[in-house]
A and B are shown apart, each in its own frame.
Chain A
Amino acid sequence: MARKKKGKPWHLKVTWTLSIVMLLLIAGFFYQSFQEMLKIAPVQVAVERISEPNHATQENDSIPGDAIDDSRE
């Protein structure tokens, strides 16, 4: 009579799956960070610009009444 092959208990399969998913996500985060790192040139540009509400700069003219340009270059 063939012996029934004993597999991993179900809860170990669950924890393995969870751990592998986490590892893949962390690897994805590193890839995302690497892409971000390539964007950071030696000369960095403004990520936030605030100007006097009544003296809007060219960049802020398109946002009437809002003193913040949230655009990221």
Chain B
Amino acid sequence: MTDIININPPSGELPAEPSKDFPWRGIVEGLAWVALVAAFIIGQIAARPDYEGMLKEALPGEVLIRSEVNTTLPVVYRVEGKQDVIIMAEGEGYGGPLIVGVRARRSEDGGRLAEVLMLSHKESPAFMEKLRRGHFFKQFGGKDVSNNFIVDDDIDAVSGATVSSRGFTTAVREAVHLGAVNHLQLKPTWQKPGWAFGAEEAVLVLLFVLAFIAGYRKGNFAKTAKLIVMVGTLVFVGFYANVSLSLANISGIFMGYIPSPQQHPMWWIMMIGVLGSIVFLGRNIYCQQICPFMVVQDLAQKISGVKMKIDSRFQKRARTLIFFLSWVALMLIFLAAHPALGSYEPFAMMFSLEGLGIQWYILPASLLGSFFVPRFWCRLFCPVGLYLNELVRLRRRVRGWFPKNKTREA
């Protein structure tokens, strides 16, 4: 069996620099960048929301009169012939903005939430299925407009889709409370949401701290920390919170989908932990320790005990292959202005066991590959790993520009 063992590159090592044998490389890369920029611009122009059109399509039987008070979100409409008011507002999901339309109706004791329409979202289908199956949306039916509409207070989040739950709740809350004050003339009796930093966020911080320790110290304590991180990341980052980094997160940043730290501290902890380890320590701690899918692959490999090597020609071109795959994915994402649309990774599906269409085949195929080839997905297909490693390489290059570091490296 030893002849087929060749883990290349070994864990934590950067993949080889690309060979410069292709003469048209510069031109092809230039065209690829131009296409990406064009797709981004086209996508942004095409994705300008037509709020009124959205509502009219969703409520074909109603005559809506737009309030002159608000011209940007939240937008308010009165319904002709009824005492209803419809407010459109925006929340921040995991993949980008969620736009909801909320119908508030006057009742004897104040007002009730009569209807909620999710008009647009950029979440992965897996997250939406999770919310739907978790009966998350049912909680809003018939609620009083004076409710707090705060997750973990009067609304329960669905585990594995916490960020999406919070985003949806925020959008509904903004809309309902605006309608309650401005149009139903109610006095605000509800609580304002505070920082959403709780036990879940503390666990994620702890995992990063332990990962740093495991990476820098030796001995039994480091070994224990590594084991805790391995189990913790699989259970918590994977199955419980389902907040693995994906191409959707990276592309979302380019499109300006950055959630507020108050409402989504977990996103910020993840980004600060991952990018901080690269900038300050020069290490890709996410791929080495935090990624739950890496743990799954290692477990699959341990079960099989087989370590097949990849054809060296294929391995050499893996970097180019991942760049090409992520380019196609980014073209789709930018054109549709929808980060989840091109994110081909199996992470969200793995940890929610929800998916659509061909996603059901990508996950088992990647697990089967990991059964025979160590870190099959990481080495041949993962765009997140490649980009993070490129950042580590960029940091090394930048440090090399300074004479002090040049001397030290020499």
Contacts and interface: CB of A to CB of B under 8 A. Distances in A.
Interface of A: 8-9, 11-12, 14-16, 18-19, 21-23, 25-26, 28-30, 32-34, 36-37, 40, 42-55, 57-58, 67-68, 70
A51 B115 contact: yes
Given A18-B369, A30-B342, 18 more contacts: A9-B3, A11-B309, A12-B308, A16-B311, A16-B314, A18-B365, A21-B365, A25-B361, A26-B325, A36-B341, A37-B336, A37-B338, A47-B128, A52-B114, A52-B115, A55-B105, A67-B141, A68-B137
Pairs of residues from A and B, 3 with the lowest C-beta to C-beta distance, nearest first: A43-B53, A52-B142, A67-B141
A46 B119 contact: yes
Interface in B320-370: 321, 325, 328-329, 332, 335-336, 338, 341-342, 344, 356-359, 361-362, 365-366, 368-369
Contacts of B117: 46, 48-49
A19 B61 contact: no
A45 B372 contact: no
Contact of B115 (A42, A57, A70): A57
Contacts of B311: 8, 12, 15-16
Given A15-B308, A28-B358, A67-B141, A45 B341 contact: no
Contact of A37 (B101, B308, B335, B368): B335
Nearest to B43: A37
Contact of B359 (A29, A44, A54, A67): A29
Contacts of B332: 30, 33-34, 37
Contact of B120 (A15, A32, A44, A53): A44
Interface residues of B, number: 62
Nearest to B328: A30
B344 A11 contact: no
Interface in B377-391: 380-381
B118 A25 contact: no
B61 A52 contact: no
Contacts of A28: 358, 361
Nearest to A57: B115
Given A15-B310, A42-B46, A67 B119 contact: no
Nearest to B129: A70
Contacts of A50: 115-116, 137-138, 140-141
Contacts of B381: 22, 26
B135 to A, nearest CB: 8
B31 interface: no
B154 interface: no
A48 B105 CA distance: 19
A69 to B, nearest CB: 10
Given A25-B361, A58-B61, A40 B336 contact: yes
Contact of B57 (A43, A49, A52): A43
Contacts of B50: 42-43
A30 B324 CA distance: 12
Interface in B207-256: none
Contact of B121 (A12, A47, A54): A47
A37 B46 CA distance: 12
Contact of B344 (A30, A43, A49, A67): A30
B366 A22 contact: yes
Contacts of A30: 328-329, 332, 342, 344
B58 interface: yes
B81 to A, nearest CB: 16
Interface string B53-95: 1100110010000000000000000000000000000000000
Given A40-B336, A51-B114, A52-B112, A26 B369 contact: no
B35 interface: no
Nearest to A37: B336
Contacts of B113: 52
A51 B54 CA distance: 18
26 contacts: A8-B311, A9-B3, A11-B308, A12-B308, A16-B311, A22-B365, A22-B380, A30-B329, A36-B341, A37-B338, A40-B336, A43-B57, A44-B54, A45-B58, A46-B117, A47-B118, A48-B118, A49-B58, A49-B116, A50-B116, A50-B138, A51-B115, A52-B114, A53-B141, A55-B142, A68-B138
